[in-house]
């Protein structure tokens, strides 16, 4: 069945507090042994004291962390200078450093032959290991190549590549020469890629000839060729060879690996200011085009490094396995920057959870001896359905911590992950954060590692994070056992600094809704004990398999179809994907069209205009959309219709034409019936 009539996946409510709680007792509880920089924090006795210190004396905390964990070319003079009302955020002012030196050179000095990357290629058993020495060499050659080909400090390079060592080298090469990178998920269509290249004003694009995923070849270079036709800023496309198949090369294209061989293996790192841009990363909002969030050098790297160390309890020598794509913030912070800053061995996963079979993750865990595994609820729910035998087949005794990210994890999936995958031994850390926050903000660790974890709850704020729940009047809710809009009450070094070329939008989206606070767009519940549970988005952002997509972006594409007058895209509960996309479309009166063909056409348009994951599972044609008297589409009502929750339709007093709701309900029931018959 395509969609569930009665949603099975509901967020656990507060009643979940009666569920089992899990305790995992780690080693030492001596604060300064566990966090060396805490030795200077007078009066801090235990880890909850450390949490209070990190929030109450944030400047001292972050200054010590920044001195301890980063290598500086010039020390910073101020710790922070932030004013949410202007969206002004500065950390470690006056400091200079180079991110690639922090991620590579300093580890090469100590242990050049340590493995930095394990490239888990699509075909199981064909992994490639890259040492810190080799990765530095690749990065330097590529940095020199980019410099020679005119990429300047302050420029921006778009990277359209699947997870692979050259993609990481490309990110770090940009960091080395002071250019920003803009990684675009290699599943995005040519149009979506073009939009991001244009907005970022990139003159250089880096890609591969073809991608390989789930045994299938993906024509990435061809997609780039199509994209750059509408990107006048692009002067060159560097093409690496992932497969042996040649692709058509034009005058603008550069054979990347061949030219890299001609370059020197030493590349002078640029001395970057703390607040220079490290990267842009596009993410969906509730309105308008995707936002290019800007992250800067020192604060971002420090936050990625600290969260990687303490949320996952990473220790020197561990193999860290984050299976997110590098095109998302999770890949940036926990496949690349956090682990490399900490000198870890990090896995780059090129495949899918079910290739060649649903045992892939666990076979990989056994083969690579992964210690921390970081994945998404959507994959866990999918694998759960295939049964325990795929997990039991492999030895998972190397695992120490299991992480989850991207969307709420339902209790059933949490319990399965903990019991079956982790054999009940490994803490499951449900980590809440966003592209905007740069790194994990709420997670069971680290403030009290010996304390309980409740399934399905993100639990506790990270060091330096002060969450706040707001009511509908914009006042902070200070009591426990309450729900509200999730804000963060004080700045932290990992947060995004602005939206590229649109600082006003940054202020309007994050700083204006609750003056003095950073607004996340999510809702949350705070339990009696003060633990947090994320309840989902408050705006029109849909989360499909952990990937954000705005309803407006999908509607934009649907409305481009000549037969369509208007449309409403909504997210509905989906067993595996968390949310699926469902679209209502109104046709222009004159058109006479076959519904099935139109549906297919519209789905293809979304795949082509955005990406496959954004495609509606179902398209329902209606005469009119329910709107308020002021003309706003009531997506909230449509969502309830699709979830068959007619008691939950809520306040209809502003509804202009009640017949529109009746029509939506009837049409939806007809579709449900059809699905069940099939």
Residues near ligand 7RM (CB under 6 A) are 283, 328-330, 405-408, 430-435, 458, 520-522, 534, 537, 543, 546, 548
* CA atoms of 322 and 314, how far apart (whole Å): 12
* CA atoms of 431 and 409, how far apart (whole Å): 10
Identify which of residues 195 and 522 has a Cβ nearer to ligand 7RM in the complex.
522
Identify which of residues 204 and 579 has a Cβ nearer to ligand 7RM in the complex.
579
- 166, two tokens: 């050259």
SS3 content of the chain, % helix, strand, coil (to 5): 35, 25, 40
* CA atoms of 522 and 524, how far apart (whole Å): 7
Identify which of residues 100 and 330 has a Cβ nearer to ligand 7RM in the complex.
330
Identify which of residues 187 and 408 has a Cβ nearer to ligand 7RM in the complex.
408
CA torsion angle 626 629 630 635 (round to 10): -20
Identify which of residues 342 and 543 has a Cβ nearer to ligand 7RM in the complex.
543
The β-bridge partners of 191 are none
The SS3 assignment for 659 reads helix
- 266, two tokens: 């030493």
Query: What is the radius of gyration, based on Cα positions, of the chain?
Result: 25
Look-up: residue for tokens 């704020």? 461
* CA atoms of 159 and 282, how far apart (whole Å): 12
At residue 108, φ and ψ (nearest 5 deg) are -65, -35
* CA atoms of 563 and 602, how far apart (whole Å): 10
Q: How far is C-alpha 300 from the geometric centre of its chain's CA atoms? A: 15
Helix residue spans in 190-297 (DSSP H):
190-200, 220-228, 256-261
Identify which of residues 155 and 550 has a Cβ nearer to ligand 7RM in the complex.
550
CB of 375 to ligand 7RM, least distance (A): 12
* CA atoms of 661 and 640, how far apart (whole Å): 10
* CA atoms of 319 and 335, how far apart (whole Å): 11
CB of 283 to ligand 7RM, least distance (A): 5
- 388, two tokens: 């325990």
Identify which of residues 548 and 639 has a Cβ nearer to ligand 7RM in the complex.
548
Terminal CA-CA length for the chain: 8
CA torsion angle 494 497 500 505 (round to 10): 120
DSSP state of 397: T
Identify which of residues 523 and 609 has a Cβ nearer to ligand 7RM in the complex.
523
Identify which of residues 97 and 405 has a Cβ nearer to ligand 7RM in the complex.
405
Identify which of residues 182 and 204 has a Cβ nearer to ligand 7RM in the complex.
182
Q: Is 7 exposed, middle or buried (0-12, 13-18, 19+ CB in 10 A)?
A: middle
Find the helix or strand (DSSP H, E) in which 524 lies: strand 518-526
CB of 87 to ligand 7RM, least distance (A): 18
CB of 536 to ligand 7RM, least distance (A): 6
Identify which of residues 329 and 348 has a Cβ nearer to ligand 7RM in the complex.
329
CB of 405 to ligand 7RM, least distance (A): 5
CB of 542 to ligand 7RM, least distance (A): 10
CB of 520 to ligand 7RM, least distance (A): 6
* 17 within 8 A of 653, measured Cβ to Cβ: no
CB of 366 to ligand 7RM, least distance (A): 26
Query: Could you tell me which residues come within 8 angstroms of residue 471 by beta carbon, excluding any fewer than 6 positions away?
Result: 477, 484, 485
- 469, two tokens: 């729940």
- The Cα-based distances of 527 to 13, 463, 484 in angstroms read 10, 19, 12
DSSP-derived secondary structure for 615-640 = S-SEEEEES---BBTTS-B-HHHHHH
CB of 439 to ligand 7RM, least distance (A): 9
CB of 11 to ligand 7RM, least distance (A): 9
CA torsion angle 436 53 31 480 (round to 10): -70
Look-up: residue for tokens 């009302």? 85
Identify which of residues 54 and 283 has a Cβ nearer to ligand 7RM in the complex.
283
CB of 313 to ligand 7RM, least distance (A): 18
CB of 578 to ligand 7RM, least distance (A): 9
Identify which of residues 343 and 406 has a Cβ nearer to ligand 7RM in the complex.
406
CB of 192 to ligand 7RM, least distance (A): 15
CB of 539 to ligand 7RM, least distance (A): 9
Whose CA is closest to 328, among 279, 394, 260? 279
Identify which of residues 95 and 578 has a Cβ nearer to ligand 7RM in the complex.
578
């Amino acid at each position: 069945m395509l969609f569930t009539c009665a949603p099975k996946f509901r967020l656990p409510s507060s009643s979940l507090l009666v569920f089992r709680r899990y305790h995992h007792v780690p080693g030492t509880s001596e604060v300064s042994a566990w966090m060396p920089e805490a030795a200077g924090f007078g009066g801090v006795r235990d880890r909850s004291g450390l949490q209070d210190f990190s929030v109450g004396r944030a400047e001292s905390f972050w200054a010590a962390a920044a001195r301890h964990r980063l290598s500086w070319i010039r020390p910073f003079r101020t710790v922070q200078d932030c004013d949410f009302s202007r969206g002004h955020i500065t950390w470690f002012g006056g400091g200079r450093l180079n991110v690639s030196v922090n991620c590579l050179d300093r580890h090469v000095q100590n242990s050049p032959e340590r493995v930095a990357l394990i490239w888990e290629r699509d075909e199981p058993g064909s992994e490639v290991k890259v040492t810190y020495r080799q990765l530095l060499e690749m990065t330097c050659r590529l940095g020199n190549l980019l410099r020679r080909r005119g990429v300047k400090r302050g420029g921006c390079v778009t990277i359209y590549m699947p997870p692979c060592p050259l993609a990481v080298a490309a990110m770090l090469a940009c960091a080395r020469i002071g250019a920003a990178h803009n990684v675009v998920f290699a599943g995005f269509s040519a149009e979506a890629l073009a939009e991001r290249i244009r907005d970022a004003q990139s003159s250089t694009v880096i890609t591969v000839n073809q991608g390989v995923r789930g045994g299938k070849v993906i024509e990435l270079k061809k997609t780039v060729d199509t994209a750059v036709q509408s990107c006048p800023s692009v002067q060159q496309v560097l093409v690496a060879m992932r497969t042996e198949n040649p692709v058509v090369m034009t005058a603008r294209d550069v054979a990347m690996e061949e030219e890299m061989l001609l370059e020197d293996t030493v590349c002078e790192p640029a001395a970057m200011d703390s607040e220079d841009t490290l990267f842009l990363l596009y993410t969906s909002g509730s309105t308008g085009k995707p936002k290019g969030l800007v992250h800067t050098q020192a604060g971002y790297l420090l936050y990625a490094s600290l969260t990687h160390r303490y949320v996952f309890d990473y220790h020197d020598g561990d193999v860290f396995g984050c299976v997110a794509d590098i095109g998302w913030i999770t890949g940036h912070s926990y496949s690349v920057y956090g682990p490399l800053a900490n000198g870890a061995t990090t896995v780059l996963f090129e495949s899918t959870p079910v290739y060649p079979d649903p045992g892939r993750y666990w076979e990989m865990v056994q083969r690579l001896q992964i210690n921390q595994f970081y994945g998404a609820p959507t994959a866990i729910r999918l694998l759960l359905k295939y049964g325990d035998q795929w997990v039991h087949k492999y030895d998972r005794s190397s695992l120490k911590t299991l992480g989850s990210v991207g969307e709420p994890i339902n209790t059933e999936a949490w319990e399965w992950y903990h019991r079956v995958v982790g054999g009940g031994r490994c803490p499951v850390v449900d980590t809440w954060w966003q592209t905007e926050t740069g790194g994990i903000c709420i997670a069971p660790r680290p403030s009290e590692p010996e304390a309980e974890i409740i399934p399905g709850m993100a639990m506790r704020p990270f060091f330096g994070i002060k969450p706040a729940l707001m009511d509908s009047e914009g006042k902070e809710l200070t009591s426990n056992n309450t729900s509200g809009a999730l804000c963060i009450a004080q700045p932290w070094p990992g947060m995004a600094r602005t939206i590229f070329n649109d600082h006003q939008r940054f202020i309007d989206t994050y700083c204006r809704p609750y003056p003095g606070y950073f607004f996340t767009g999510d809702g949350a519940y705070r339990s009696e004990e003060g633990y947090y549970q994320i309840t989902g988005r408050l705006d029109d952002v849909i989360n499909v398999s952990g990937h954000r997509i705005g309803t407006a972006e999908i509607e934009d594409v649907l409305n481009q179809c000549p037969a369509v007058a208007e449309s409403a895209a909504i997210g509905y509960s989906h067993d595996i994907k968390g949310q699926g996309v469902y679209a209502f479309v109104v046709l222009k009166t004159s058109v006479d069209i076959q519904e099935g063909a139109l549906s297919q056409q519209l789905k293809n348009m979304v795949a082509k205009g955005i990406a496959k994951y954004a495609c509606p599972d179902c398209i329902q044609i209606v005469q009119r959309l329910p709107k308020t008297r002021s003309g706003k589409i009531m997506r909230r009502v449509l969502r309830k219709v699709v979830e068959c929750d007619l008691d939950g339709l809520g306040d209809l007093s502003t509804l202009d034409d009640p017949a529109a709701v009746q029509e939506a309900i009837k049409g939806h029931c007809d579709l449900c019936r059809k699905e069940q018959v099939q």
